[in-house]
Amino acid sequence: MADVKALYDEDFVAWSEQQAEALRAAARGGSNHQLDWENLAEEIESLGKSDRRELASRLAVIVEHLIKLDHSPARYPRKRWRQTILRERGEIERILDDSPSLRREVPKLIRNEAKRAAEIALGELDIRRELGQGLRETLKRKNSLELFSYTPDQILGDWFPPQPKG
């Protein structure tokens, strides 16, 4: 039991997955406790899934803001976009400290969230009239995911796109 308690403190997502499976195994074993085993297992499992969803959402925000920094010629909102990225990186570190097993899912989550993040960023750049003709033409020829692919190290590290010239 001590290992289970340690796992709770060391990796919440791994703990929730392990506990959900333990509840399902107890239900299959015919426990005489009057518990709603399957729904308990699903609720415990959903606790870990909420951390995964939060991580995915925060990764998407970072990708969105990196795209805007990378492709907007504007000077004014850049500081705010950088602050948002820094804040999200800090929150992601807190999530990964609580659930280190999620770290291995970061590349997959980035791939899953990149298209949505790119659409949001491009929509905002278009509204702000900052989507230059060159980028429009490139987008017509290429998949936006090819253009806006950032590595996990760029997203989670201290990297920022270079400042625009001029």
Residue 145 has what pLDDT? 59
pLDDT of residue 133: 66
Residue 165 lies in a domain: no
Is residue 78, in this structure, part of any structural domain at all? yes
Given this model, what pLDDT does residue 143 score? 62
Per-residue pLDDT of the chain (166 residues; tens, 9 = 90+): 458 778 888 998 888 888 888 888 887 887 666 667 777 778 888 888 899 999 999 999 999 999 999 888 888 889 999 999 999 999 999 999 999 999 999 999 999 999 899 889 988 998 988 877 677 666 666 665 566 789 999 999 999 998 877 5
Q: Does residue 93 fall inside a structural domain?
A: yes
pLDDT at position 55 is 98
Query: Which CATH number fits the domain that encloses residue 125?
Result: 1.20.1220.20
**65 within domain boundaries:** yes
60 lies in which domain range?
2-156
For the chain, first and last CA: distance in Å? 62
Task: Flag whether 163 is in a domain.
Answer: no
> Around Cβ 121, how many Cβ atoms within 10 Å?
25
What are the structure tokens assigned to 119, written together?
């659409």
